[in-house]
Chains A and B, each alone.
Chain A
């Protein structure tokens, strides 16, 4: 096949062709030469199509009066426009859900975003390299604990006869099951998330810090900067671009909190604060009498908020600094 273009007649072939035909032929040849790459891409494309793009198409049911088992576009599809959305906006649950989701996300973000940066800066500023490595290993550990085990540990520690209550009782306090207390949900949720992931989230900053030119530090030392001043004036500026990118990303994912964890932590006692948009979607759509069109509409509303937040964050960042995702 490949050799067809060779041979003595090849000369005539190229010489006689118009530039446009030449271009088209060249494109065709490139495609033929590079088609193995397309074959290598195919499985991934297929998986993403099935599990990511088909569901995006399935979002149409948010605008339908949909019963499980119906085709998405069928003869009897009843389009109801934004009815599901207006129903959600007027749902008594709407404001509590918005409040629960936003508060959990924002408090979580305010604590969870700077903590890894501080830890990374501190680890980087440690005197002993080896000690710093050991600490990193320790800090990364909890990341590999599964959500189920993490929440299980929480129930063990904060249950009525758990370690915390034992200590409280020992000090003369009163035992209570923190899982049934609505006031304890957010602190437990956020602190345990940070406990699990602060070390892991710090890695990316540590990597960025390890790329700082040691010459910069040496120059600063000669200029008389203390270690703390070097953290502020050498290290921190060096990871600023990374911080911006991570900031945009986490703002974009702000509303996509780990509902899997919230679901595990929910009890009758704390439902008032632990019910989030996403857990509500799960309950409306997949438990009890399924209400799929409605649940999809709520989910879509949530994703749209996310995309809008992402765009706002990115545009703002672009305006004020050079860093942006696109």
Chain B
């Protein structure tokens, strides 16, 4: 039965055989993808609350075995994680505040047609998107600015992403009507007043998106901290996690027995630390994912 025939007899609501097959395969495939995405995350959770021996013995596959909270108890004693946590919170908060203060006014200015030298500024901001000095000159600049070893080496380079700047600009261009700005001008507002009394109150969406982008970026980053910070007391969470989760694998040699023992000791803490470190982001995620995709869509308006 072809689509045409069934469409003739009834409105197109009734599906043809071909379409039924298509929708089924489509749904099955996407469902499979969802499983692939979810299972590893699910496994982390059940492994963290299962008995470590059961995990190592391969008994934990679909559900937790011999539920225990030992891992969580032990991680409470891991001081480095909590210093890292605190550091990351500080770095993230400062990054968000500073980045908004830098990105939002600049985005507004770039979205105005009358900004003097607009084209030149655009080129100025576009060039770094495609060409950079590379790692070593960047390190040297940070070093001559005296930032190496300071927490500002982690914060300052992250307070402006050109992508985010252009996204903000596009948002302003598309969502603040010219008429409003003109009305404010006639009402007697200057450019600063327009920005604070009109633009900012109307831009909560983009402020939220930008704050989240910068926050997640900072929360998840490790590289700058790794090359610029020596003092472990200043390590952000990700760097601490790196030590816990990864550093051990390559150095581990020796007989199977000792490896197994090491695994037993460390394994549970690994699963738990993955959870603990990702909790803030994961808790936030369902609430903010709307904003996140909005951000991407704002960015895509230009294309």
Do A and B touch each other in the complex, judged by CB within 8 A?
Answer: yes
Q: Chain A residues in contact with chain B, CB under 8 A?
A: 30-31, 33-38, 40-41, 43-45, 47-48, 50-59, 61, 68, 72, 119, 122-123, 125-127, 131, 135-142, 144-149, 151-153, 155-157, 159-161, 163, 166-167, 169-170, 177, 179-180, 195, 198-200, 203-204, 207-208, 221, 224-228, 241-242, 245, 252, 260, 263-264, 266-269, 278, 281-282, 285-286, 292, 295-296, 299-300, 302-303, 306-307, 310
Contact assessment for A51 and B156 in the assembled complex, using a CB-CB cutoff below 8 Å: yes
Evaluate contact between A226 and B135: CB separation under 8 angstroms: no
Chain B residues proximal to chain A, CB less than 8 Å: 2-4, 7, 12, 16, 18-19, 22-23, 26-27, 29-30, 33-34, 36-38, 40-41, 43-44, 47, 56-58, 61, 101-103, 105-106, 108-110, 112, 114-116, 121, 124-125, 127-128, 130-141, 143, 145, 156-157, 159-160, 162, 165, 190-192, 195, 216, 219-223, 227, 238-239, 241-242, 244-246, 249-250, 259-260, 263, 267, 270-271, 274, 277-278, 281-282, 285-286, 289, 292-293, 296-297, 299-300, 303
Residues of A within 8 A of B300 (CB): 204, 207-208, 242
Are the C-beta atoms of A161 and B260 separated by less than 8 Å?
yes
Docked-complex contact A55 and B22, CB < 8 angstroms: no
**A47 and B156 in contact, given A55-B132, A139-B37, A195-B37 (Cβ under 8 angstroms):** yes
Provide the bound-state CA to CA distance between A28 and B39, in Å.
63
Which of the residues B34, B124, B191, B285 comes within 8 Å of A144, measured between beta carbons?
B285
CB of A258, distance to nearest CB on chain B (Å): 10
Contact in complex: A36, B191 (CB < 8 Å):
yes
Complex Cα gap A252–B297 (Å): 22
The answer to whether A125 touches B101 (Cβ under 8 A) is no
For residue A115, which residue of chain B has the nearest CB?
B33
Known: A43-B106, A137-B289, A227-B23. A149 touches B297 (CB 8 A): no
Closest residue of chain A to B245 (Cβ to Cβ) is A152
| Cβ distance A132 to chain B, nearest Cβ, rounded Å | 8
6 A-B pairs with least C-beta separation: A58-B137, A55-B133, A299-B134, A152-B245, A166-B58, A146-B220
Contact between A141 and B285, CB atoms less than 8 A apart: yes
Q: Which residues of B contact A44 (CB under 8 A)?
A: 102-103, 105-106, 125, 160, 165
Q: In the complex, are the beta carbons of B132 and A282 less than 8 A apart?
A: no
For residue B18, which residues in chain A have a CB less than 8 angstroms away from its CB? 226-228
When distances are taken between beta carbons in the complex, the residues of chain A under 8 Å from B131 are 56, 303, 306-307
Please give, as numbers and ranges, the residues of chain A lying within 8 Å of B270 by CB-CB distance: 152, 156
**Nearest residue in B to A278 (C-beta to C-beta)?**
B135
B237, chain A: closest CB distance, angstroms: 9
Which B residues lie within 8 Å of A149 (CB)? Answer: 238, 241, 245, 274, 277-278
Which residue of chain B is the closest to A265 with respect to CB atoms? B246
Is B23 in contact with A37, judged by CB distance below 8 angstroms? no
Offer 18 A-B interface pairs, CB within 8 angstroms, sorted by A. Answer: A34-B112, A34-B116, A34-B191, A41-B110, A51-B138, A55-B133, A57-B137, A58-B140, A125-B22, A125-B26, A136-B293, A152-B244, A155-B249, A221-B12, A224-B7, A227-B22, A267-B249, A303-B132
